[in-house]
Amino acid sequence: MSIEVIKPGLASSIQDKGRQGYYHLGIPPSGGMDQRSLVAANLLLGNPEGSAVIECALMGPELRFTDTHKVAACGAEMLPRVDGEPQPLNEVFEVPAGAALSFDFVKAGARLYLAIEGGIDVPERLGSRSTYALGSLGGLQGRTLQPGDTLGVLPAHGLATTGRRLPENLVPAFYKRYELRVIPGLYAHRLEPDSAERFYHEDWTVASEADRIGYRMKGGTKLDFIKREPPFGAGDDPSNIVDACYPIGSIQVPSGSEPIILHRDAVSGGGYAMIGTVISADMDTVGQIQPHQKVRFVQVTLEQAMDARARYQHVLEQLRNMP
Amino acid sequence: MSNQVTATTRYSQAGDEFLFVELSEEMTLEAFFRSISITQRLRDIDLPGVVEICPANASYQVRYNPDVISAQTLQDTLEKLEQEVASQQVRTLETRIIEVPVLYNDPWTHETQMRFRDNHQDPTGTDLEYAARINGYDSVDVFIKAHSETPWFVSMVGFVAGLPFMYQMVPRDRQIQVPKYLRPRTDTPKQTVGIGGCFSVIYSVRGAGGYQMFGVTPMPIYDPSGEQPHIDASMIYFRPGDIVKYRAVEREEYDNLLAVAEKGQFTPNVTHFTFDLDAFNQDPDGYARRVKEALYEH
């Protein structure tokens, strides 16, 4: 019941729905960056929706299966191949014992979720199997996959059916450019008014530093903070604050130049002013944006965020009830 | 309601799952004490829908499930708790005093700071020499004494897993302050003790960092593999509200303590303590002596 890692891919890690309740000690939630695709891959196989899967970023791994397993791959468009033969995305297929599973280059999206019937078997740490690499915690030895690693698989439950497919209306769409909805706030009042306004009216380009900790943005005009005498303990730069907690999804702008959206492996706090927070319904989308793609930030109210949240939850309900 | 102000307190919605509360723009012991008191009460009342409660230096943050509790109800509750804390007659905190042994001026942080000298304000000196000079101390030794002699409050745990931010328990005019590196380093030894701004930290893991580096502690503070008996199942040793007293050690004692820690047998010197904010404010120096007495005479 094991899978051998021949090539690890760019940054493949074990993830589930993440851990909760340790952020006040600096341990972030971790978990799949695109939860919807993680859940879809598990539910296709009949797994509990939060079973541990392999999150594959931009370039997938090559894996040798010592036993036969049914699998499902959802999320970014990276065509799976079994011993070179193309396999469908968003559909259960079988990898026979001894076969190698590999992936083509990513065509759209950024992260693919590979679920195995039964789920990946790594120990639960603080209530989750998710990898938090910065803290060497969870997953396989607290890190991304390496050549020669062996992954255990929990016993198959026998519910998975080859050919079961995600309904067309639940297959995610990927785009060349994205809009991310943001509730302005936190330290937005520290920005010069024209900077606060302009942030939402310019294209931003995702930098190559876009990982599980955060997504850095480039290409927009530098934001100006209102000049002032720094408060005691904050630091000298106008973008500094007395070190505070960083909400997941919050957008900080060190020195005003390159905004960073924190994601599920976030540093839990620090001394840079945040100017708003991406709404929860758009966080999966962030995890599917590739470096060099364009983003616009769109201001929304809490009420609009709650509407988007309800629509997101409706999609999850449809996944749970899919035929 | 996304950005209301009550006196100095500022409530801000952070997306649809976080409420961020700034108690003071500047760092004060008063603001920290309110942060720790309000978040402790919120923990105690076990409010349905509250998911994570994170106290910080002069602010705090609550993660909540808006399908269970509305943002407005949560904010109303927090405002009520804040008023209760403000009307408290006795301002005390049940906590512990922890001694942290430090090898100052150690070879590992020294080697690291030399590799990143171009990122530093003073490329010709060391972090300790720089910090001593800009804080008006005649020598590195006197500076080390100032850093290790006074107690520090753990005012926040985070950035990365288990890293304590500590606030020096002395009147503001005597607080050590140093700027962070001009450009952050990509490397910091594990368990480095340093300062940035007015906060002393202990780096829990090896990695990037921008604080000035003064030494290393042999005491494990983050334990993802569960090998250290003094660290509980949370894997994290420090809690906001802990009081830390550094103790300068020589190389021989450091090596011995490190060997003990590597065998999973490190036992910190720690004692229970009731911190009294008003007694501290009346006589910070006398109070620091009481903290030391509590630690060394229990």
Q: Measured between alpha carbons, how far is B281 from B276 in angstroms, rounded to an integer?
A: 9
Contact (Cβ atoms closer than 8 angstroms) between residue B41 and residue B55: no
Chain A's closest residue to B226, CA to CA, is A125
Give the Cα-Cα-Cα angle B290, B296, B298 (nearest 5 degrees): 90
| Nearest CB to A306 within list B66, B163, B199 | B66
Q: Residue for token digits 């919050």?
A: A250
pLDDT of residue A248: 98
Domains and CATH numbers, chain B: 3-88 (3.30.1360.40), 94-296 (2.40.100.10)
Query: H helices within chain B, ranges in order?
Result: 29-45, 71-86, 107-115, 127-134, 140-149, 251-262, 277-282, 284-296
Render pLDDT for B230-288 as a digit per residue (tens, 0 to 9). Answer: 999 999 999 999 999 999 999 999 999 999 999 999 999 999 999 999 999 999 999 99
Residues of chain A with pLDDT under 50: none
Render pLDDT for A120-166 as a digit per residue (tens, 0 to 9). Answer: 999 999 999 999 999 999 999 999 999 999 999 999 999 999 999 99
pLDDT of residue B2: 39
Q: Measured between alpha carbons, how far is B213 from B199 in angstroms, rounded to an integer?
A: 12
In three-state form (DSSP H/G/I as H, E/B as E, the rest C), the secondary structure along B192-259 is: EEEEEECEEEECCCCCCECCEEEEECCCCCECCCCCCCCCCCCCECCCCCCEEEEEECCHHHHHHHHH
Domains and CATH numbers, chain A: 2-170 (no CATH), 177-319 (2.40.100.10)
Is A305 within 8 Å of B16 when comparing Cβ atoms? yes
* Closest by CA position to B62, among listed B26, B27, B12: B12
pLDDT of residue B208: 87
Is the pLDDT at B48 greater than 80? The verdict is: yes
Contact (Cβ atoms closer than 8 angstroms) between residue A41 and residue A115: yes
Q: Measured between alpha carbons, how far is A188 from A16 in angstroms, rounded to an integer?
A: 33
pLDDT band at B297; cut points 50, 70, 90: confident
| Nearest CB to B54 within list A24, A278, A281 | A24
pLDDT of residue B4: 43
| Nearest CB to A20 within list B52, B160, B240 | B52
Q: Measured between alpha carbons, how far is B41 from A184 in angstroms, rounded to an integer?
A: 28
What average pLDDT does this structure show over B47-67?
97
pTM equals: 0.95
CA count, 13 A, side-chain hemisphere, B235: 25
B160 CB near a chain A CB, below 8 Å?
yes
B105 CB near a chain A CB, below 8 Å?
no
Cα of A249 to nearest chain B Cα, Å: 7
Is the pLDDT at B32 greater than 60? The verdict is: yes
Render pLDDT for B81-111 as a digit per residue (tens, 0 to 9). Answer: 999 998 887 789 999 999 999 999 999 999 9
pLDDT band at B5; cut points 50, 70, 90: very low
Is B158 within 8 Å of A23 when comparing Cβ atoms? yes
pLDDT of residue B3: 41
Which residues in chain A have their CB less than 8 angstroms from residue B54's CB? Answer: 23-24, 245, 268-269
Structure tokens at B108: 């590992």
pLDDT of residue B7: 64
Name the DSSP class of B33.
H
Is B71 within 8 Å of A25 when comparing Cβ atoms? no
| Nearest CB to B158 within list A21, A26, A126 | A26
Does ipTM top 0.85? yes
Cα of A95 to nearest chain B Cα, Å: 33
Burial class from Cβ neighbours inside 10 Å (0-12, 13-18, 19+) for residue B64 reads buried
- Return the CA Rg of chain A: 20
